Amino acid sequence: MAKPTQSTGGLDFDKNKRSWPNELNILIALIVIIGVFELLGQTLPYMNEQSFLFDSRDRFDSIFNEARLRIIILQVSIIGIIALGVTQVIISGGIDLSSGPLVGATAMIVMSFAQTELVNGGANPKAVFGEWAFDLPILIPIIVGLAFGAMIGAINGSLIAFTRIPPFIATLGMFLICRGIAQAWTRGKPVSFPTEGYAGLGSGMMPVYWFIGLAVVFHCVLKYTVYGKHTYAIGSNEDAARMSGINVQKHKVLVYMIASMLAAFAAIILSSKNLTAQSGMGIFYELYAIAMAVIGGVSLTGGRGSIVGTVLGAMVFGVIQSGFTYVKLDAYFQLMAMGVIIIGAVVLDKVRQERAASRK
Amino acid sequence: MSEVILETRGLTKHYGGVHALNDADFVLNNGEHVAIMGDNGAGKSTFVRQITGVEQRTNGTITFDGQDVHFAGPIDAREAGIETVFQTLALADDLDVPDNLFLGREITKYDWLGPFRLLDYKAMRAATIEGLERTAVKIPNIRNTIQNMSGGQRQCVAIARTATFSSKLTIMDEPTAALGVQETEQVENIIRTLKDNGEPLILVSHNMRQVFDLVDRIVVFRRGRIVANLNAADTDGQDVVSYITGAKTGIEYEGAA
């Protein structure tokens, strides 16, 4: 680095002081957590020296325990898709509490347009609409779902951008409204029996492919497009963004729309995977999605975070869930442990921020 | 390019019954550096806010670069070529230097993608480095985020915007108020570079030494009126202070104070 030629008090660039990417910390945390579970598996008396990550069976020559890995990632994929949207909302300085109930409502609505007429040779016992809504092309439920998501997102965004009520309140209201829609849609009855094509959207490992594909897309969007740059700018300093000529209100509406469309898409995949839609679907999803983002280093004050971080956060989330089951921790304690870990992640982030600030 | 870059005639701003600015006639020539001085509440900031479109004037005309202008907001003013460095820095802390310089006016590719058009990082970095060199701003690493920078460096980034976009007029409102000795010197060096490049500047400052060091002309505001228009070479601190406090009033401004 060139030295300043004038006596201007410009600091030299010190490589040692360069902040180290937060994503690396999460990756290390992920590896440490896996290591801890591996160690617990080897040492806890009731575990019979099982391995958490590696394949210990004699008759297979695979290195990893692929079944577990598959379950871990499959488990987090659908909430992970929601987390991709939540990440953008939080980076822009907001919060979205409505994504979980939105999953429930969207699943109900979408499934009504994805039903098949004949079930085991008889008429569909759970038909919502009449004959016209049976065996529609697969695109119709997808479009209906995404449109519903876009609408809810546009309402969220407009409320936040134009009435300037806090995002927490706007999306909390939408939380209740969406849960209400989900329950009112069929008066609480589940909607089932989708067409074969629709069922294919979320079967097998499809949710994982969707999650990874969307993660790559939104990683690029946040990093390489004007939309991404403005999202960070608004979360970082809204006044500066406004002074710079960014249409902050329009941008916020767009961010919430994208987030809700991702949640709606998660609902499509989830209902397809489960072959049914129930009004109670997606309970706690909004909180899990926020947790994934937060574990992944997305700062709740806005301006900081990344899709890579959130994907890693989702993996940490999945590994912990799977690990608790693996060490046979009672399901009743899992939620508590999860809560402790989320708080821990935020505290660590805070400490890291303050250390960075005092280093100046 | 016209000789006079900015001219105001009878510029007036009333806040309700408060006459914050009265009949301000002000002329700035191309390449000239002018300081605006005055006590708190004398109308300096009000004057700046009318020129930059932050507020709408009650009366009077503003001619900028040969044309009558009515800026609806600071963004209009910026597009016309007036760059303002505000007292409170309008920087996004989590972004790096090129991102901040180009915030809201990014260089992009594939514009048909609408809000998802791609950023041309390479071009923006090149333009940033060029702008920093023109202003002689020293920033060790432009990829560093603003939050990792000192107050002086932040101020330099804010000032470097003006150079990057080859603005026609730069306005600085107390650019060194919150800075240390070395950082102040850094900012003053940038101002000198602007002078050498022949770029006009309006500097709002309380710092007498700085004003005499840097500018060609000093305009003194008092109680919402311009009370003196002095060549820096023909006057001294005592004189300026007399005008600021009202102990003395310029001949052509007799009766104004």
CATH number, domain of B79, equals 3.40.50.300
The answer as to whether B152 is a domain residue is no
SS3 B111: helix
CA dist A302 and A95 (Å) reads: 10
Please give the Cα distance from A161 to A163 (Å, whole number): 6
Residue B98, domain member (yes or no): no
Residue B131 lies in a domain: no
- C-alpha span between B107 and B119 (Å, rounded): 6
- Nearest Cα of chain B lies from the Cα of A26 at a distance, in angstroms, of 19
Q: What integer pLDDT is reported at residue B175 of this predicted model?
A: 83
Q: What is the pLDDT of residues B159-215, one digit of tens each?
A: 877 767 767 888 988 888 777 787 788 888 888 888 888 889 999 988 888 899 899
Q: Flag whether pLDDT at A204 surpasses 60.
A: yes
Residue of A226, A248, A249 best to disrupt the B interface, most CBs of B under 10 A: A226
Phi, psi of A104, rounded to the nearest 5 degrees: -60, -50
Chain A residues close to B136, C-beta within 8 Å = 6
Q: What is the pLDDT of residue B255?
A: 47
Largest Cα span, chain B: 62
B92:A236 CB<8 A: yes
Which among A9, A13, A225 is the nearest to B117, CB-wise? Answer: A225
Say if A360 is an interface residue toward chain B (CB within 8 Å). yes
How open is the CA angle B149-A242-B84, to the nearest 5 degrees?
Answer: 65
Q: Which residues of chain B from 100 to 159 reach within 8 Å of chain A, CB to CB?
A: 103-106, 108, 113, 115-119, 121, 136, 138-141, 144-145, 147-150, 152-153
Quote the Cα angle for A162-A168-A174, to 5°. 80
What element of type H or E holds B18?
strand B18-29
Please measure the distance between the N-terminal and C-terminal CA atoms of chain B and give it in whole angstroms. Answer: 36
The structure tokens 């919502």 sit at: A128
| Averaged pLDDT of chain B | 85
Q: Is residue B42 in some structural domain?
A: yes
Note the pLDDT of residue B215.
Answer: 92
Q: Is A52 helix (H, G, I), strand (E, B) or coil?
A: coil
Pair B145, B154: CB distance under 8 Å: no
Contact yes or no for B241/B209 (Cβ under 8 A): no
- B26-78 per-position pLDDT tens digit: 999 988 999 999 888 888 888 988 998 888 889 899 999 888 999 888 888 88
* pLDDT (tens digit per residue) in B139-149: 778 888 888 88
Q: Does any domain span residue B196?
A: yes
Q: 3-state class of A222 per DSSP?
A: helix
The two tokens of residue B235 are 């006057």
With a cut of 50, say whether residue A164 has pLDDT above it. Answer: yes
- The total domain count for chain B is 1
What percent of chain B lies above the pLDDT cut of 90? 19
Q: Does A243 touch chain B (CB under 8 A)?
A: yes
Helix, strand, or coil here: A240?
helix
**Is residue B174 assigned to a domain?**
yes
Backbone phi and psi for residue B20, each to the nearest 5 degrees, phi listed first: -75, -25
Which parts of B85-199 fold into alpha helices (H)? 97-101, 121-135, 151-164, 181-196
Q: Does B24 touch chain A (CB under 8 A)?
A: no
What token pair was written down for A210?
């969707």
A357–chain B Cβ distance below 8 A for any pair:
yes
Provide mean pLDDT across the span A238-259: 92
CA nearest A299 in B: which residue? Answer: B94
Query: What interface predicted TM-score (ipTM) does this complex get?
Result: 0.78
Between the alpha carbon of residue B236 and those of residues A59, A170, B26, B209, B218, the distances in Å are 95, 60, 21, 10, 10
In a domain, B51, yes or no: yes
Q: Is residue B140 part of a domain?
A: no
Domain with B69, as residue range(s), is 4-92+168-253
Q: In angstroms, how far is CA A170 from the centroid of its own chain?
A: 20
Question: Cβ of A13 and B144 within 8 Å?
Answer: yes
| A 288-347 near B (Cβ less than 8 A) | 303-304
Indicate the range of A9-23, A238-252, B71-85 predicted with least confidence: A9-23
Chain A residues whose beta carbon lies within 8 Å of the beta carbon of residue B87:
none
What topology is assigned to A27-36+65-352 in CATH?
A: ABC transporter involved in vitamin B12 uptake, BtuC (1.10.3470)
